[in-house]
Structure 1
Amino acid sequence: MTILEVNNVKKVYTTRFGGNHVQALTDVSFSVEEGEYVAIMGESGSGKTTLLNILAALDKPTSGNVLLEGKSILTIKDKQLSSFRRGNLGFVFQDFNLLDTFTIQDNIFLPLVLSGKSYKEMRSRIAPLAQKLRITKILEKYPYEVSGGQKQRAAVARALITNPKLILADEPTGALDSRASDDLLKMFTTINDEGQTVLMVTHSTKAASHAKRVLFIKDGTVFHQIYKGSLTNEEMYQKISDALHVIATGGVEYE
């Protein structure tokens, strides 16, 4: 089942006084199947962040369409967008986006509180998640009292606790050391193996090598893609590195 469809998405920004136009996305089309784990890569300025913001309904394209389970997210009224995001999307950010005045548990509960869920339901949801992500012992601590890796696991728990249709991850390993990054990537693989659809934007070849498919964005369009298939993480790493080299050196598009 196709969960996400991106059809001919174009984004042009106009400068403050309307004198200049910056084309962030030219013509982006792709789809994501339910249960996929997709990474999006590209050089700085290639349009990755713009694309992610559009998929998250934080921005709207100049033209084109984005459908989640066959329904256009562009037709959602502004006053309903926050509710739509909480009900359908889970977010994992590079800088964690945890509130220092809330405990880890309260940070994880936040989207459920905003959705009006009962405390009993929140407790029943957090227990298995905390155990899976190995954060049970830190739930009563505050973000400034735990490590970067623990913060990011808490952020993953917050993203998952709403049972989202799609996880959107923006450079999730960017603020982590190598050990915490490896730990987080293994967790993403486990989460995906259990059926969660994941779409990750990353500069990290290592992070992307854990995905089942990698899309490369160049000059505002999808330049190439790689399917992992039976490749090991190491073999996928090499294929991604080769593709990035072609993009960086201005090589021709792959067959």
Structure 2
Amino acid sequence: MALLDVKNVKKIYTTRFGGSKVQALKDVSFSVEPQEYVAIMGESGSGKTTLLNILAALDKPTSGKVYLKGRDLSQVKEKEMAAFRRQNLGFVFQEFNLLDTFSVEDNIYLPLVLAGKKYEEMHKRLLPIAEHLGIMDILKKYPYEVSGGQKQRAAVARALIIKPQLILADEPTGALDSRASDELLNLFTQINQSGQTVLMVTHSVKAASSAKRVLFIKDGQVFHQIYRGCQTNEEMYQKITAALTVLTTGGELK
């Protein structure tokens, strides 16, 4: 069974006074299997952010369904939604979303604190993650005392500590320099190889080249997809670049 199943999702926004309607998503369908690493690409305004918000249960589709491990997200009651996200979804954002008044350690603990977990359990979960991500030496520091790459590693740790079904990453390399970006992408590859399912929205061809599959969104629909197979990152880069050229200029994909 697919971990994530998106079926005929449509999203229409009505302007404030109901004068006009904007169709952000027309008819999006795709599945993500357990342990996949999928990147979603598309031009600005193609519907990527809208789709991510729907997958994160932060927005609801006008029509269509999203299933996470067989559960229809539209059937999750509003009062249960926050707990549902904490239990099933890990988030990694471009701007890290760390609280400067909390230490790195406490930022990572936050979703477990909200879930009512005891300190002993939180600490037990954190140690192997922090060691794997190489952030043991910054746990007692504050976000303003560490680098962008270290902040993003802390954000990844916060996503992993809840043992999520799925990690949703929104432009995770967008605020990083090239070295920190490379480190993060290598980290995502390691996390995925350890069994974690990852879905990433990105504008970066380099970031998408690290995924096992790339979905392209155009005019609110899935336009094309590329499977890694045995291809290298460099070969993926070339294929993704070619697909984006067709997506922006027209023509046919080979």
Partners of 2:89 and 2:128 in 1: CA distance? 20
Displacement of 1:31: 0.1
> For residues 12-45 of structure 1, what are the alpha-carbon distances to aligned partners after superposition, in whole Å with 9 as ceiling and x for unaligned?
0000000010100000000000000000000000
CA distance in 1, matches of 2:93, 2:74: 23
Counterpart-to-counterpart distance in 2, 1:15 and 1:134: 47
- The aligned amino acid for 1:16 is R
Name the counterpart of 1:16: 16
In the alignment, the residues of structure 1 paired with residue 37 and residue 142 of structure 2 have an alpha-carbon distance, to the nearest angstrom, of 31
Secondary structure of 1:92's aligned partner: strand
**What is the CA distance between 1:251 and its match in structure 2?**
2.0
Stretches of structure 2 that go unaligned for 5 or more consecutive residues are none
Distance in 2, matches of 1:8 and 1:250, equals 24
User: Does the alignment pair 1:30 with 2:23?
Assistant: no
Q: Cα RMSD (Å) of the superposition? A: 0.7
Residue 132, structure 1, aligned to residue 132, structure 2: yes
Which residue matches 2:102?
102
The offset of 1:123, in angstroms, is 0.5
Q: 2:175 maps to what in 1?
A: 175
Structure 1 gap segments, 5+ residues each: none
For residues 129-164 of structure 1, the C-alpha deviation after alignment (integer angstroms, 9 at most, x for no partner) is 000001000000000000000000000000000000
Structure 1 counterpart SS, 2:50: helix
Shift of residue 250, structure 1, vs aligned partner:
1.8
Map of 1:204 onto structure 2: 204
Identify the residue that residue 55 of structure 2 maps to in structure 1: 55
The whole-number CA distance in structure 2 between the counterparts of 1:189 and 1:92 is 15
* CA displacement 1:26-68 (0-9 Å, x = unmatched): 0000000000000000000000000000000000000000000
| Deviation at residue 126 of structure 1 after TM alignment | 0.4
Pairing 1:68-107 to 2, within 5 Å after superposition = 68-107=68-107
Matches within 5 A, 1:161-172: 161-172=161-172
Runs of at least 4 residues off by over 3 Å: none
TM-score normalised over the length of structure 1: 0.99
Matched to 2:236, the amino acid is: M
TM-aligned CA deviation for residue 71 of structure 1: 1.0
Q: How far did 1:75 drift?
A: 1.1
Give the structure 1 partner of residue 3 of structure 2.
3
Deviation at 1:112, TM superposition (A): 0.3
Corresponding letter in the other structure for 1:237? Y
Q: How far apart, CA to CA, are the structure 1 residues paired with 2:66 and 2:151?
A: 31
Letter of the structure 1 residue corresponding to residue 78 of structure 2: D
Give the Cα–Cα distance (whole angstroms) in 2 for the partners of residues 192 and 75 of structure 1: 29
CA displacement, residues 76-118 of structure 1 (integer Å, 9 cap, x when unaligned): 1111110000000000000000000000000000000001111
TM-score for the superposition, normalised by structure 2: 0.99
Query: 2:106 is paired with a residue of what secondary structure?
Result: helix
The answer to whether structure 1 residue 188 and structure 2 residue 188 are counterparts is yes
Moved more, 170-179 or 72-81: 72-81
Per-residue deviation at 1:248? Answer: 0.5
Quick one: which amino acid aligns to residue 205 of structure 1?
A: V
Report how many aligned residue pairs link the two structures: 254
